[in-house]
Amino acid sequence: MTSIQQSPRVASATGKTVIFTAWLNGFCPEALPDAALAEARDCFGSDAVLNVVSSRVNPPGRTSLISVAAVMSTTSPQVDEHVRRATTFRLTGNAMGNMERTAFVRARELFGPDAELRVVASRVEQASEGPDATHNPFLGEFDIAAFPQPAAGTRRCVLTLVDVITGNGIEEMERRARHEGRQFFGPDAELRVTFRDVCTTPERLGTKDRFFSMFVEVEAVLSGPPQFDEWPCTTFRAGAVSGNSVRQMERRVLHKARQFFGPDAEYRVVFKDGVDGVESTPYYIETTDRFYARSVDVEVILSGSAQVDEPAGERVLTLHDTIRGDSREQLEREALREARRRLGGRLGRGAVLQVRFRDGFFGATSDKQDAAGRYFAAIVDVYASGGAA
Q: Domain spans of the chain? A: 4-222, 227-305, 308-385
**Is pLDDT of 75 > 50?**
no
Top pLDDT among 134 and 86 is at 86
Look at residue 226 in the predicted model and tell me its pLDDT.
64
When pLDDT is cut at 50, 70 and 90, the band that residue 38 belongs to is very high
d(CA 62, CA 58) in angstroms, rounded, equals 6
Helix (H, G, I), strand (E, B), or coil: what is residue 197?
Answer: strand
When pLDDT is cut at 50, 70 and 90, the band that residue 225 belongs to is low
The number of beta carbons lying within 10 Å of the beta carbon of residue 72 is: 25
Helix (H, G, I), strand (E, B), or coil: what is residue 263?
Answer: coil
The model's pLDDT over 254-310, given as tens digits with 9 standing for 90+, comes to: 998 888 888 888 888 888 765 558 999 988 889 999 999 988 988 888 776 555 556
The model's pLDDT over 54-69, given as tens digits with 9 standing for 90+, comes to: 778 887 778 888 888 7
The dihedral of CA 9, 16, 275, 281: what is its sign? negative
Residue 62's φ and ψ, nearest 5 degrees, are -120, 150
Residue closest to 121 by CA, chosen among 47, 246, 11: 11
Task: Give the helix/strand (H/E) hosting 34.
Answer: helix 32-44
Least confident of 89-98, 300-309, 341-350: 300-309
Q: Collect all residues with Cβ–Cβ distance below 8 Å to 94 and sequence separation of at least 6.
A: 135, 136, 137, 138
Residue closest to 358 by CA, chosen among 213, 227, 234: 234
